[in-house]
C-alpha cells in the first residue's frame, strides 16, 4: 500500500526531531535553512545519523555493524524504488527506521537525488568499523570525500543546484568541516581507538601516539595539529564561493556553517592547539557573533 499524505508528513516530522536533538556545532545554521528544504535535509540527516551510529555506538561486533550497514543499504535501494512503507525496524535499527526511509524515498524521487551519494556515506561508515589509522593525507581526504562531501552535494540538489563549480566548492567546505570535527575531537576519537591525523603529518613533527593516548598534548602534537589546521583553513578558503553561489536563504545557511567551522579553528588556535584541556565548540552564546558576521559578510 502506498504511503498516505499523513504518514509521509509524520515521517518527515520524525526525521526533523532526529535532526533537532543531535545538532551541535552549528545551531544557528539550521534556523536559516529555507523552510521548504528542511524536511528533505532532515531525512538525509536521519539516514546518515543512524548509519554513523551503527559504525560507532554501542558494543556491537564488527560483523554486527557491517550487517546493520548492509541492511541500511537494502532499505535505501527499496525506498528509492517504491513509495511503499518498508519493513518494521530490525534489531539494532532505530525504532523510526521505516519512517526515515518513507521520508528519504520521497525526497530522493522528488529531487532526483543520486543514490550513489548515499552509498558513499554508507561506505565511509563501514570503513570506520575497520580503519582506525590513516597513513597519508590522500587516504584521509578520500574518506572525507565519502563521509562528508555527499551531504553538501545533496543539500545543493535539494536546493535545485547542479553545477560542477558549486559541487567542488561544497566539497572543499564539507571536507574542511569534517577535518575540523576530527581536530576538536582528537582525544575523544583516540579514546575510541581512532586517530585521524595522518601518520605522515605526525611523523613530520615527531608526534607520538603514546602521548595522545596518555592525554598529553606534547609540543610535537601541537605542531602537527597547527599544520593540519592550516591545511583545513585553506580548504575553507577554497570552498567559500559556494556561500555566495546559491540563492535565497540557503546562502545564509552556508555562510553560517562556514563561519562556524572557522570559529572552531580560531578557538583551537587560541587554546594553543590543545583540544584536550579545552575542546573548542559552539553554543547558544555564539548566536549574536554569528548574526553580526552574517550582517557584515563580504561577497
pLDDT in tens, the chain (299 residues): 567 889 899 999 999 988 877 655 444 457 678 899 999 999 999 999 999 999 988 889 999 999 999 999 999 999 999 877 778 888 889 999 999 999 999 999 999 999 999 999 999 999 999 999 999 999 999 999 999 999 999 999 999 999 999 999 999 999 999 999 999 999 999 999 999 999 999 999 999 999 999 999 999 999 999 999 999 999 999 999 999 999 899 999 999 999 999 999 999 999 999 999 989 988 888 888 988 999 999 87
Superfamily name and number for 131-276: Farnesyl Diphosphate Synthase (1.10.600.10)
Query: d(Cα 47, Cα 11) in Å, to the nearest integer?
Result: 12
Longest CA–CA span in the chain (Å) reads 62
- Please tell me the predicted confidence (pLDDT) of residue 1: 55
Query: d(Cα 180, Cα 3) in Å, to the nearest integer?
Result: 40
- Please tell me the predicted confidence (pLDDT) of residue 33: 86
In sequence order, which residues have a C-beta less than 8 Å from that of residue 166 and are 6 or more positions away? 156, 241, 242, 245, 246
- Please tell me the predicted confidence (pLDDT) of residue 160: 95
- Please tell me the predicted confidence (pLDDT) of residue 22: 62
Q: In the chain, which segments carry CATH 1.10.600.10?
A: 1-130, 131-276
CB atoms within 10 A of CB 83: 13
- Please tell me the predicted confidence (pLDDT) of residue 64: 95
Roughly how many angstroms between the first and final C-alpha of the chain, as a whole number?
A: 49
CB atoms within 10 A of CB 99: 26
Q: Which CATH number fits domain 1-130: 3.40.50.2300, 1.10.600.10, 3.30.565.10, 2.40.50.100?
A: 1.10.600.10
What is the helix (H) or strand (E) element at residue 241, kind and residue range? helix 241-244
In sequence order, which residues have a C-beta less than 8 Å from that of residue 230 and are 6 or more positions away? none
Amino acid at each position: 500500500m502506498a504511503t498516505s499524505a499523513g504518514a509521509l508528513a509524520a515521517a518527515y516530522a520524525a526525521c526533523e526531531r532526529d535532526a533537532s536533538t543531535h545538532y551541535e556545532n552549528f545551531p544557528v545554521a539550521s534556523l536559516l535553512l529555507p523552510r521548504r528544504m528542511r524536511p528533505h535535509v532532515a531525512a538525509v540527516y536521519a539516514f546518515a545519523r543512524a548509519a554513523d551510529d551503527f559504525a560507532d555506538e554501542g558494543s556491537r561486533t564488527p560483523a554486527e555493524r557491517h550487517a546493520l550497514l548492509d541492511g541500511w543499504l537494502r532499505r535505501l535501494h527499496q525506498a528509492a524504488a517504491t513509495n511503499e512503507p518498508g519493513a518494521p525496524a530490525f534489531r539494532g535499527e532505530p525504532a523510526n527506521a521505516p519512517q526515515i526511509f518513507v521520508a528519504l524515498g520521497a525526497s530522493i524521487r522528488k529531487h532526483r537525488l543520486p543514490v550513489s551519494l548515499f552509498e558513499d556515506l554508507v561506505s565511509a561508515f563501514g570503513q570506520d568499523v575497520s580503519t582506525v589509522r590513516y597513513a597519508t593525507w590522500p587516504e584521509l581526504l578520500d574518506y572525507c570525500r565519502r563521509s562528508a562531501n555527499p551531504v553538501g552535494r545533496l543539500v545543493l540538489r535539494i536546493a535545485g543546484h547542479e553545477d560542477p563549480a558549486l559541487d567542488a566548492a561544497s566539497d572543499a567546505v564539507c571536507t574542511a568541516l569534517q577535518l575540523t570535527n576530527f581536530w576538536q575531537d582528537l582525544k575523544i576519537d583516540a579514546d575510541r581507538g581512532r586517530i585521524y591525523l595522518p601518520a605522515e603529518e605526525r611523523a613530520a613533527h615527531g608526534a607520538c601516539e603514546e602521548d595522545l593516548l596518555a592525554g598529553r598534548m606534547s609540543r610535537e602534537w601541537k605542531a602537527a595539529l597547527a599544520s593540519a589546521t592550516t591545511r583545513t583553513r585553506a580548504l575553507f578558503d577554497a570552498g567559500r564561493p559556494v556561500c555566495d553561489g546559491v540563492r535565497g536563504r540557503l546562502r545564509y545557511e552556508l555562510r553560517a556553517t562556514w563561519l562556524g567551522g572557522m570559529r572552531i579553528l580560531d578557538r583551537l588556535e587560541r587554546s594553543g592547539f590543545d583540544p584536550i584541556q579545552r575542546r573548542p565548540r559552539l553554543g547558544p552564546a555564539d548566536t549574536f557573533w554569528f548574526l553580526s558576521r552574517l550582517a557584515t559578510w563580504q561577497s
